[in-house]
Chains A and B, each alone.
Chain A
Amino acid sequence: MALKTEEMILNMGPQHPSTHGVLRLELELEGEIIVGAKPHIGYLHRCFEKHCEAMSYPQVTPYTDRMDYLASMYNEFGYALAVEKLLGIQVPERVEYIRVIMGEFQRIASHLVAIGTYGLDIGAMTPFLYCFRDREKILSLFEQTCGARLLYNYIWVGGLSHDLHPDFLIQARDFIKYFRPKIKELNDLLTNNKIFIDRTANVGILPLDLAINYGISGPNLRASGFKWDIRKDDAYSVYNKFDFDIPVGKGTMGTVGDCWDRYYIRILEMEESLKIIEQAIEQIPEGDVTSAIPKRIKPAVGQVYSRVENPRGELGYFIISDGSVNPFRVKVKGPSFVHLGIMNELLKGYMIADVIAILGSIDIVLGEVDR
């Protein structure tokens, strides 16, 4: 007679060191093999979208900071673009350039966290601290510009809160010069490490059709081999003035769309961001950054959907205006929330250790999942 066995239910999180925030994964285990996974979210829900309905348009900006707290600049960027589209105003060229520079710096900072914590998930602690050391330099740049290190409230509807400080461009150039070799160092230490490759290649393969069906965007979609980047394909701001590549996953170490590809895409994107910043620094025009800020924002009745390529994927804002000073509805389409949906499909059949590897490679921020 066969011995009766039953699956073990393991609640991973909300208090777990590598669920990247307060995510609870309900794992069904057969030994160490995963039979099913159910993500439970909502531990960090702060009613962001409802709050916005009681705020005037400029007052929403600080709230957008607090969604994806690793990419605050980009959240503001997206929101500002959406409201400007609703109002139909044009911002000075200098503002656009500064926004792009800040956005790309934010992308590097965000990818550094993603890469560093991914190393930590796999068990290498040192790359994590190297990444944070470099991210610190970007945060100092932000701090010198707008006074805040994490939640900036810098990109306003119609302009910016401050112009760049006088040394900014020099320091940005210094950073680019400093950071390029550091990417190589990171590749030596982690990317091409045999153990790291063993842990990530051919693990958590996300086929392209599945990715598209689930609405995956950003680096995760590109890692599956589809060249799609809103910065290029639906260019906003001044992105069409820069020359940069969109890296796609090639399955160098294993299969296209595995964890290693998703990790490596982020490394490549950091280099592309450096390229964009370099060009933007060269081309940046003079001008007044606060001239186009409207005194009173009261858009006409209507609605707008605007999307940007946030470090994690497509960040869309859907805003309905009823003609008053407060938005009637602000709906956010966040990449982390969409990406979390695929966990059940991705995790089946892998081991507990792979859960961490896969979750880390998807790179979610729970602040944005729950909002």
Chain B
Amino acid sequence: MIYDFFFKITGSNIIASIIQSLLPLFIFILPFALFAVWLERKVSAHMQDRLGPMRVGKHGWLQTIADILKLVQKEDIVPNEADKPLFNIAPVLVFVGSYAVFAAIPFSGAFIGSNIDLGIIFIIAASGFVVAGILMAGWASNNKYSLLGAMRSAAQIISYEIPTVLVVLTIIMITGTTNLFTLSEMQTGHFWNWMIFGGPNFGVAKFIFIPFMIMNFIIIYISTLAEVNRTPFDIPEAESELVSGYHTEYSGMKFAMFFLAEYANMFAVSAIVTALFFGGYQSPVGYLGNLFGAHWLIPIEQFFWFTAKGIFFVFVQMWLRWTLPRLRVDQLMTVCWKYLIPIAFVNLIIIGLITVL
């Protein structure tokens, strides 16, 4: 484990914890956000018969860095009528919420920020922080568009947490653990051991599970899309209606914080879906490390598989964003309360019955 490694080197558990908690930020979230913003622009461009950024670096791969540099240099504007303390705390809070989620995500067998037993519950709780931040941002900006965006966002995120939690509950019922690390370890072996294919158990139950698992996956994917405010659920920041929703009044680095949090969140929810349904960091086919007898290679391979799966789901999110129009607020709530939640409940009951039997 990373923590033990740094503990041995530095001999101090405080320094080891600090390094361990900063590590995901610098080796993962920041580079990922830079990459994801570039990817989003490229994906959208190629879907729309354009080239996208081409000037800064080969195929514009340095474009995001240039953008960040521009944002850093910008004047930090706080509106006169804004509630200044709240206005300043809000982006930090949003970022903390999405960053805290990364603590419990198992990137590979040897690298999990904090191996807490309540992993998945912790993630759901921590992502709830984001709502508070968004509400604060909307209220403190003293702008009607921001307020409308924030209200929509709060309603949306809270509503969609219910189907997410229901799906997570079914997984907990089957596996009997809330620890994401254990959950990933259970899905070891080949891809037919992944939860989407009925999990590691054998027999008839596995095949009965499959359709329900696929349904569960669709529900959780839709609701996570809504939780990170992506199209078709990007109502809080609907630029054609609310200019840009709760972060209308933000500029410079504070805006960048919201932006970074959004992309970090995109990966976080993809990571949850991966960990719950697609074997977490487990390779679908086996490890090169085992083949060559080089066991140090396995964690690196696992990290690769986890990132690859995560980025695939991020890519699907982008794909949807550039294809679909946006729902209206009431339609969004209809989808959640009239369709997703009842279906999730039925799933929960049926899977519960199967597990008991």
List the interface of chain A (C-beta within 8 A of B): 8, 10, 16-18, 32, 119-126, 129-130, 133, 189-190, 193, 195-196, 198-199, 351-356
B329 and A123 within 8 A (CB): no
List B contacts of A199 (CB < 8 A).
Answer: 325-328, 331
Tell me the bound Cα distance from A328 to B164 in angstroms. 70
Q: A198-B331, A199-B328 are in contact. Are A356 and B241 (CB under 8 A)?
A: yes
List A contacts of B249 (CB < 8 A).
Answer: none
10 A–B pairs (Cβ distance < 8 Å), ordered by A: A10-B145, A17-B240, A32-B329, A122-B240, A124-B325, A125-B322, A195-B232, A352-B148, A353-B241, A353-B326
List A contacts of B328 (CB < 8 A).
Answer: 198-199, 351, 353-354
Residues of chain B in range 235-252 having any CB-CB distance to chain A below 8 Å: 235, 238-243
Tell me the bound Cα distance from A18 to B326 in angstroms. 14
A190 and B325 within 8 A (CB): yes
List the interface of chain B (C-beta within 8 A of A): 44, 47-50, 144-145, 148, 231-232, 234-235, 238-243, 322-331
List B contacts of A17 (CB < 8 A).
Answer: 239-240, 243
Closest to B239 in A: A17
Tell me the bound Cα distance from A221 to B23 in angstroms. 62
Residue from B232, B240, B327, B329 within 8 A of A356 (CB atoms):
B240
State the Cβ distance, B139 to closest chain A Cβ, in Å.
14
Q: A16-B243, A17-B243, A356-B241 are in contact. Are A123 and B325 (CB under 8 A)?
A: yes
List A contacts of B326 (CB < 8 A).
Answer: 122-124, 195, 199, 353
Tell me the bound Cα distance from A348 to B231 in angstroms. 27
List A contacts of B234 (CB < 8 A).
Answer: 123
A129 and B329 within 8 A (CB): no
Tell me the bound Cα distance from A32 to B144 in angstroms. 11
Tell me the bound Cα distance from A353 to B145 in angstroms. 12
A353 and B48 within 8 A (CB): no
State the Cβ distance, A282 to closest chain B Cβ, in Å.
31
A123 and B238 within 8 A (CB): yes
State the Cβ distance, A203 to closest chain B Cβ, in Å.
9
Closest to B331 in A: A198
List A contacts of B148 (CB < 8 A).
Answer: 32, 352
Closest to B144 in A: A10
Tell me the bound Cα distance from A229 to B238 in angstroms. 36
Closest to B242 in A: A352
List A contacts of B238 (CB < 8 A).
Answer: 123, 353
B243 and A196 within 8 A (CB): no
B240 and A352 within 8 A (CB): no
Residue from B241, B322, B325 within 8 A of A196 (CB atoms):
B325
The residue in A18, A123, A126 that gathers the most chain B C-beta atoms within 10 A of its C-beta is A123
A126 and B323 within 8 A (CB): yes
Tell me the bound Cα distance from A193 to B232 in angstroms. 12
Tell me the bound Cα distance from A231 to B152 in angstroms. 46
A125 and B44 within 8 A (CB): yes
List B contacts of A130 (CB < 8 A).
Answer: 48-49
B241 and A18 within 8 A (CB): yes
Give me the 5 closest cross-chain CB pairs, A-B, nearest first.
Answer: A123-B326, A129-B48, A124-B325, A18-B240, A122-B325
List B contacts of A123 (CB < 8 A).
Answer: 231-232, 234, 238, 240, 324-326
Q: A123-B234, A133-B49 are in contact. Are A195 and B327 (CB under 8 A)?
A: yes
